[in-house]
Structure 1
Amino acid sequence: MNHPYPLSRAALVLATTAALWWPAQASNVEPTASAALSGKQTVGSSLFRYWGFDVYQATLHAPAGFDARRFEQQRFGLALQYRRAFKGSDIAQRSIDEMQAIAPLTPQQASDWTAAMQRAFPDIKAGDELLGVHVPGSGARFYFNGQLRATVDDPAFSARFFGIWLSPQTSAPQLRTALIGAGAR
């Protein structure tokens, strides 16, 4: 049987394709929350309450010198330790609503980002922790109870998602102030 490409050339093409694909897929994603937070310190922490109910304890982890004015350009982690049970789909919808309140989303962004968060956020019970890690220029990583659960490879999503807590336009300015501490601006 005659092949249009000799076997050695096909193997070379396959190896080259794999080499180009593999680094993007195995791009140093930490498998655990503790590994993702290595080298980070607690910047601030506060209990978030809504209508008198304790919702979660939020804690911001970042390297020394974290500047809230440039949060989109810095790597950090935001941990939410839940005090109540919530459906993952409800967390995703509330996140979209908060993102829309900061600045409008296109219908495509709202649809794509809701789907991504529904995959990333499981149903939560009291005591569970979700950690989101913002990776500038790459996107977001989400950890559930210490283990990697999902990545969203979209820098615009990540900046907008973490803006829920860190943007000056947040709906929870007191929580933002508590989280960013000395980096408050």
Structure 2
Amino acid sequence: MRAPFHPLPAAAVLLLLSEVLGHSGMAYAAAPEPTLSAALQGQKPVGTARLRYWGFDVYDASLYAAPGFEIQRFENQRFGLELSYLRKLKGADIAERSIDEMKGLATIDPAQAQRWLAAMSALFPDVQSGDRITGVHAPGIGARFYLNGTLLGEVADDAFSRLFFGIWLSPKTSQPRMRQALIQSMVGSAPRAP
């Protein structure tokens, strides 16, 4: 005979969820803004660059940041990075390439890499030329993603967000010329150390 089913009380479910999220490095935060314009409020375009790979134009990248944005501390500030695709790509391929680039910036536990890959694969759609995926870094919360201005979802993990945006903004990026083009307008205006 099977034991009767007893649902967990709501408080126990919330405690269990907070334990799971806490151990996975995920953060719980307020719901993301439903539109890109709301998510980028106060942000202005500060730089653009084009990614070419093996002679093919892949996407144009645009960095959005508030006045006073400091590239040396990008992970501590809110900003947006928009990729305007110039060719058709599969979402799974975008996710795979992203995790490979993230692994080039830091050592990632294999189980963590699999969780992040699964999260990106679930979020990133197949894109056509002209589609725009914009990521918004919310410090202490994670990354929020928008397709053509409409919310796709988020990865509520600050460590993920720092490494993901590091693909373009870290000094260890595999595309230093692209990074330079994205931040060029800020480099000349950055305050100098005494």
**Which category of TM-score, normalised to the shorter sequence, fits these structures?**
0.7 to 0.9
2:131 is matched with: 128
Normalising by structure 2, we get a TM-score of: 0.81
Backbone CA RMSD of aligned residues: 2.0
CA contact (8 A) 1:119 1:150 kept: no
Q: Distance in 2 between matches of 1:176 and 1:33?
A: 23
Say if 2:158 is the partner of 1:162. no
1:99 is matched with: 102
Q: Distance in 2 between matches of 1:107 and 1:91?
A: 19
Q: Structure 2 unaligned runs (5+)?
A: 1-8, 19-26
Local SS of the residue matching 2:159: helix
Local SS of the residue matching 2:68: coil
Local SS of the residue matching 1:133: strand
Q: Please state how far the C-alpha of 1:40 moved relative to its aligned partner.
A: 0.4
Once the two structures are superposed, residues 88-136 of structure 1 have per-residue CA deviations (whole angstroms, 9 ceiling, x without a partner) of 0000000010001111211111100000100110001100000000000
Structure-2 change in CA distance of 1:25 and 1:101 (3 Å): closer
Residue 33 (structure 2) aligned to one of 27, 30, 33: 30
Query: Runs ≥4 in structure 1, deviation > 2 angstroms?
Result: 182-185
Query: Would you say how many aligned residue pairs link Structure 1 and Structure 2?
Result: 167
Residue type at the aligned position of 2:171? P
Q: Please state how far the C-alpha of 1:28 moved relative to its aligned partner.
A: 4.8
2:50 is matched with: 47
1:60 is matched with: 63
2:6 is matched with: none
Q: Please state how far the C-alpha of 1:183 moved relative to its aligned partner.
A: 2.9
CA contact (8 A) 1:165 1:175 kept: yes
Structure-2 change in CA distance of 1:161 and 1:25 (3 Å): closer
1:145 is matched with: 148
Q: Structure 1 unaligned runs (5+)?
A: 1-9
Q: Please state how far the C-alpha of 1:60 moved relative to its aligned partner.
A: 0.2
Residue 119 (structure 1) aligned to one of 97, 122, 132: 122
2:77 is matched with: 74
CA contact (8 A) 2:88 2:128 kept: yes
CA contact (8 A) 2:62 2:81 kept: yes
Local SS of the residue matching 2:113: helix
Q: Distance in 2 between matches of 1:96 and 1:140?
A: 14
CA contact (8 A) 2:77 2:137 kept: yes
2:111 is matched with: 108
Local SS of the residue matching 1:108: helix
Local SS of the residue matching 1:149: strand
Residue type at the aligned position of 1:104? T
Larger Rg: 1
